[in-house]
């Protein structure tokens, strides 16, 4: 059966329930009750309580259940180290067994060494622990046999601790193995607190699901517990002297990877004049273009209008280029850097005859251009 696309049926049911509740609340406030709004509001609280219960039920059914992992390597390591800290060999060795048996893709010994533990000493203690568990099974069978035959079998304290261990009472390992000695398990230069603090980042984050599959996850981000360091205040503005400013401009001019537009009062004046001249020259042409666009919207555009619009657009580009060339000439005369541009610097005879010549007003504009000229040859 194909998987349904889009929203699930449970989510749709939840969405429909929200809409139904909103309608019911609105009707209660507006007052479909016989007493009007007052009676509607009087019963609103009980209705809302019933609504929220129903909504929660729909929401729970709409959200999928996220299964909890059976085991997590970091948690097992943490429990083992806490047992080492408290001197509990039973829990420590039991967790070491779990890590080695349940996480086959992890080099547990290498992980222990990297975290400052003596893996060889831990393995030695683990083998003793497992041998005692095996001996506990043998002792349990022997004791059961004796009891079955009616023979009295008195257990020593050591034998009782061994049976307790076999029955899962890990506290019995303390009497059999003795307390764990941290100085044997933790290597020089490492510390118990340091190992515990580093588990979240130094131990792989691996889960075991209910089916026994390994699920490798990323290291969780540690939430900061300290305030961020204050940002240093920016340095105060520095006003350069005229010689220093000249030196800086010279260095900028020599730089190959820095493009700088030099601004001084004279350049600003030239640029402002250029913008004003361009705006003044283009204003009537832009207005006419807007009128042509309006005719296009109304569906009344003619071929003559199209030709006129093309001619105006061509002339606009020519005007912009001419004003830019004039401004560059003024900058050069003032000893300033010219501004590079790309545009129509000359008008060919073909372009002039096609775009300019049929329109007397555009002919007058082109004749008054200062830098852009018509090429006659």
Q: List the chain pLDDT tens, one digit each, 377 residues.
A: 444 454 556 666 656 666 666 666 566 555 554 455 555 555 556 666 666 766 676 666 666 666 788 889 889 999 988 888 877 888 888 999 999 998 888 888 888 888 888 888 889 888 988 888 888 777 777 777 767 666 666 666 777 777 787 787 877 677 777 666 777 788 888 888 888 888 888 888 888 888 888 888 876 665 556 666 666 655 555 556 777 767 766 766 665 554 455 556 787 788 888 889 989 999 999 899 889 888 887 888 888 888 898 899 889 888 988 888 888 888 888 877 666 555 567 888 888 898 899 999 999 998 998 888 888 65
Q: What is the pLDDT of residue 364?
A: 92
Cβ neighbour number for residue 274 with a 10 Å cutoff: 19
Q: What are 44's two structure tokens?
A: 């609103």
Q: What is the pLDDT of residue 2?
A: 45
pLDDT in tens, 301-354: 888 888 898 899 889 888 988 888 888 888 888 877 666 555 567 888 888 898
* DSSP states of 71-87: EEHHHHHHHHHHHHHHT
Q: Which residues contact 340 (CB under 8 A, 6 or more apart)?
A: none
Q: What is the pLDDT of residue 18?
A: 67
Cβ neighbour number for residue 346 with a 10 Å cutoff: 12
The total number of residues shown for the chain amounts to 377
Q: Give the residue from 186, 183, 184, 164 showing the smallest Cα distance to 174.
A: 164
By CB atoms closer than 10 A (0-12, 13-18, 19+), residue 183 is exposed
Q: What is the pLDDT of residue 377?
A: 59
Please state the pTM of the whole predicted model.
0.45
374 by DSSP, 3-state: which? strand
Specify whether the CB–CB gap between 156 and 167 falls below 8 A: no
Q: What is the pLDDT of residue 186?
A: 85
Q: What is the pLDDT of residue 149?
A: 65
Angle of the 157-166 helix axis to the 119-149 helix axis, nearest 10: 100
Q: What are 218's two structure tokens?
A: 């990323």
User: What whole-number distance in Å separates Cα of residue 355 and Cα of residue 139?
Assistant: 111
Q: What is the pLDDT of residue 9?
A: 64
Residues pairing with 347 in the sheet: 374
* CA 39 vs CA 26, 30, 44: distances in Å: 13, 10, 9
Specify whether the CB–CB gap between 80 and 91 falls below 8 A: yes
Q: What is the pLDDT of residue 359?
A: 93
Sign of CA dihedral 177, 195, 115, 200: positive
User: What whole-number distance in Å separates Cα of residue 213 and Cα of residue 20?
Assistant: 43
The structure tokens 């290597």 sit at 187
Q: What is the pLDDT of residue 238?
A: 56
Residues pairing with 117 in the sheet: 186
Q: What is the pLDDT of residue 1?
A: 41
pLDDT in tens, 41-71: 555 566 666 667 666 766 666 666 667 888 8
């Amino acid at each position: 059966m194909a998987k349904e696309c889009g929203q699930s049926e449970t989510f749709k049911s939840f969405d429909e329930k929200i809409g139904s509740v909103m309608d019911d609340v609105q009707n209660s406030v507006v007052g479909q009750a016989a007493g009007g709004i007052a009676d509607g509001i009087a019963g609103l609280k009980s209705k809302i309580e019933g609504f929220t219960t129903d909504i929660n039920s729909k929401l729970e059914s709409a959200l999928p259940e996220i299964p909890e992992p059976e085991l997590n390597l970091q948690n097992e390591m943490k429990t083992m180290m806490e047992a080492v800290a408290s001197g509990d060999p039973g829990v420590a060795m039991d967790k070491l067994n779990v890590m080695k048996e349940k996480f086959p893709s992890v080099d547990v010994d290498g992980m222990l060494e990297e975290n400052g533990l003596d893996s060889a000493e831990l393995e030695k203690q683990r083998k003793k622990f497992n041998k005692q568990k095996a001996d506990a099974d043998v002792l349990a069978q022997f004791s059961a046999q004796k009891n079955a035959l009616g023979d009295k079998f008195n257990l020593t304290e050591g034998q009782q601790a061994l049976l307790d261990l076999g029955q899962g009472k890990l506290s019995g390992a303390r009497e059999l193995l003795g307390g764990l000695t941290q100085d044997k398990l933790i290597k020089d230069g490492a510390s118990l607190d340091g190992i515990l603090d580093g588990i979240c980042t130094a131990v792989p984050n691996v889960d075991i699901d209910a089916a026994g599959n390994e699920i490798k996850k990323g290291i969780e981000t540690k939430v900061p517990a300290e305030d961020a360091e204050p940002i240093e205040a920016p340095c105060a503005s520095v006003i350069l002297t005229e010689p220093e400013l000249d030196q800086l401009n010279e260095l900028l001019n020599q730089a190959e990877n820095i493009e700088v537009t030099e601004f001084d009062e004279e350049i600003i004046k030239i640029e402002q004049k250029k913008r004003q001249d361009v705006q003044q020259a283009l204003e009537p042409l832009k207005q006419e273009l807007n009128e042509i666009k309006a005719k296009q919207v109304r569906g009344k555009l003619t071929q003559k209008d199209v030709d006129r619009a093309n001619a105006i657009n061509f002339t606009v580009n020519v005007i912009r280029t001419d004003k830019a060339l004039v401004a560059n000439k003024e900058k050069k005369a003032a000893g300033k850097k010219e501004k590079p541009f790309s545009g129509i610097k000359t008008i060919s005879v073909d372009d002039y005859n096609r775009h300019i010549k049929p329109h007397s007003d555009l002919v007058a504009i082109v004749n008054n251009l200062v830098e852009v000229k018509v090429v006659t040859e």
